[in-house]
């Protein structure tokens, strides 16, 4: 029993922290071209970015640092304040 609990604790500690509640990475699918390739964000992308909390936007920026510049460009184009992470 004790070994099983220790094993579960080790497994839990090895995993990255989950995103903040309510963060749905798949919701950003319409923003894919803007974030991946730096194209102008669509109206749908802007709508979705405006719905995201700053905490969620920070999580995405941390998770995908290689796309942070394009993400920030999309935030500006959509009038979304850049989150302070």
Is 72 within 8 Å of 79 (Cβ atoms)? Answer: no
Q: Is 30 exposed, middle or buried (0-12, 13-18, 19+ CB in 10 A)?
A: middle
For CA atoms 9, 10, 12, 16, the dihedral sign is positive
> Over the stretch 12-39, which tens digit does the pLDDT of each residue have?
455 555 545 568 889 999 999 999 999 9
Q: What is the mean pLDDT of the chain?
A: 83
The domains located in the chain, with CATH, are 28-85 (1.10.110.10)
Q: Say which residues have a Cβ less than 8 Å from residue 52's Cβ, sequence separation at least 6.
A: 23, 27, 28, 80
Query: What confidence score (pLDDT) does residue 21 get?
Result: 52
Which tokens in the block code for residue 77? 């184009």
């Amino acid at each position: 029993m004790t070994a099983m609990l220790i094993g579960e604790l080790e497994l839990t500690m090895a995993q990255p922290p989950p995103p903040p509640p309510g963060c749905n990475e798949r919701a950003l699918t319409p923003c894919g071209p803007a974030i991946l390739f730096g194209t102008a964000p669509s109206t749908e992308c802007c709508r979705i970015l405006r719905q995201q909390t700053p905490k969620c936007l920070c999580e995405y920026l941390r998770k995908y640092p290689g796309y942070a510049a394009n993400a920030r460009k999309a935030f500006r184009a959509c009038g979304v304040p850049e989150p302070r992470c």
